[in-house]
Amino acid sequence: MGVEVVVQGLTKSFGGQPVWSDITLSLPAGEISVLLGPSGTGKSVFLKTLVGLLRPDRGDIWIEGRNLPRLSERDLYEVRKLFGVLFQDGALFGSMTIYDNVAFPLREHTRKSESEIRAVVTEKLDMVGLVGAEKKLPGEISGGMRKRAGLARALVLDPQIVLFDEPDSGLDPVRTAYLNQLIIDLNQRTDATFLIVTHDINTARTVPDNIGLIYHGHLAMFGPREMLLSSTEPVVRQFLNAQRIGPIGMAEEKDAEELQAEAEAGVELPPLPPIPVQLQPSNGLRRRAERQPGQWCRDHGVVPPAGSFDGPRPDEQLAAELPRRTRAREGAAG
């Protein structure tokens, strides 16, 4: 089973400038969570703090009974092995082949022989559809392939917690769809706890079990997907529906004048769009944290937006998906 990550009162600043403060949330074991927020709100800093690359000013990060900010460098090194991280820029070594890049954590952290390493690297490259590209350098493959190579490297130590920093940025919509399916399938197969930072609203609406939103130095909300997708809290509503109307402006926070002008103009918000059904694993099995569509809304007496959960049922999704998967396996380029 994946590992629960409990964050309590986490606060981080650089040179007296706060990035965010008092973040409290739990990433449920084995579930997929998405973290959203305007550019520059500290999402990447949050991921780096979780994995122990940055020390918080205050607060706790509990993983398997250990509190990361309190650990010695040596213990932290051990706990870090639980993590796989896909950094925002891929962070591949430019002078190493794809094979050597993916093999790197195994050579660094394990005593496996080269033939054992070959088996693991081949398995992970196969998983992300990169067999055949082993000998290429990162500069010789497309941006989408680099993302997938970064993902293979993040998975090579069979991590219990996987952090993805914008896995879909710079990808075309079709490759984003493939990557999202890959993420769902990996979660189903590995049981690991996933946290994905993304700016893609469609990803945020269909992939996760939970959603969080950082805004203005605080965690505006964190909870089950349906809670945020049915929320009328102005910041959450504006962000999850990619609207201009609301408290968030170009410079993160709109000034009072702008907001007043909006109020006076009597700008009316469009109704909330329907909540889509979640993306399902392509092997026909259930998601780890399978919940009935609409369950959270029913349990909490919330009426979901009209037309919610009307999409194809998970098994119909699968039927539509299978021919596509076969084609992808036959021509795994790109």
Ligand X SMILES: Nc1ncnc2c1ncn2[C@@H]1O[C@H](COP(=O)(O)OP(=O)(O)OP(=O)(O)O)[C@@H](O)[C@H]1O
Per-residue contact string for residues 266-305; x = within reach of ligand X by CB under 6 A: ----------------------------------------
DSSP state letter for 207: S
How big is the site for ligand X, counted in residues (CB under 6 A)? 11
Residues with Cβ within 8 Å of 167's Cβ and at least 6 positions away in sequence, in order, are 86, 147, 151, 179, 183, 196, 198
- Within 71-130, the residues that bind Mg ion by CB under 5 A are 88
55 binds ligand X (CB under 6 A): no
* Residue 22 CB, nearest approach to Mg ion (Å): 20
Query: 298-332 in b/e burial notation, b at 16+ Cβ within 10 A?
Result: eeeeeebeeebbebeebeebbeebeeeeeebeeee
Q: Residue 51 binds which entry of ligand X, Mg ion, none, with Cβ cut-offs from 5 to 8 Å by kind?
A: none
Residues of this chain, 63-102, that bind ligand X according to CB under 6 A: 88
Task: Give the separation between CA 228 and CA 115, rounded to whole angstroms.
Answer: 47
Q: Among 42-50, 231-239, 288-296, 320-328, which window interacts with Mg ion (CB under 5 A)?
A: 42-50
Residue 304 binds which of Mg ion, ligand X, none (CB < 5-8 A, kind-dependent): none
98/211 with CB nearer ligand X? 211
Residue 44 interacts with Mg ion (CB under 5 A): yes or no:
yes
**Residue 26 class from Cβ within 10 Å (0-12 exposed, 13-18 middle, 19+ buried)?**
middle
| Distance between CA atoms of residues 19 and 185, nearest Å | 33
Q: Does 129 bind ligand X (CB under 6 A)?
A: no
| Residue 247 touches which member of Mg ion, ligand X, none, C-beta under 5-8 Å by kind | none
Query: Among 50, 69, 60, 54, which Cα is nearest to 13's?
Result: 54
Choose the one of Mg ion, ligand X, none that binds residue 39, judging by a C-beta under 5 to 8 angstroms depending on kind: ligand X
Q: Which is nearer to Mg ion, 88 or 241 (CB)?
A: 88
* 59, 219 contact by CB (below 8 A): no
In angstroms, what is the minimal distance from the CB of 41 to ligand X? Answer: 4
Q: Pick from 44, 101, 198, 280: which binds ligand X (CB under 6 A)?
A: 44
Residue type for position 36:
L
Asked if 50 interacts with ligand X (CB under 6 A), we say no
Find the part of the chain contacting ligand X (CB under 6 A) among 39-47, 135-143, 170-178, 187-195. Answer: 39-47
Nearer residue to ligand X within complex by CB, 127 or 219: 219
Q: Which residues bind Mg ion (CB under 5 A)?
A: 44, 88
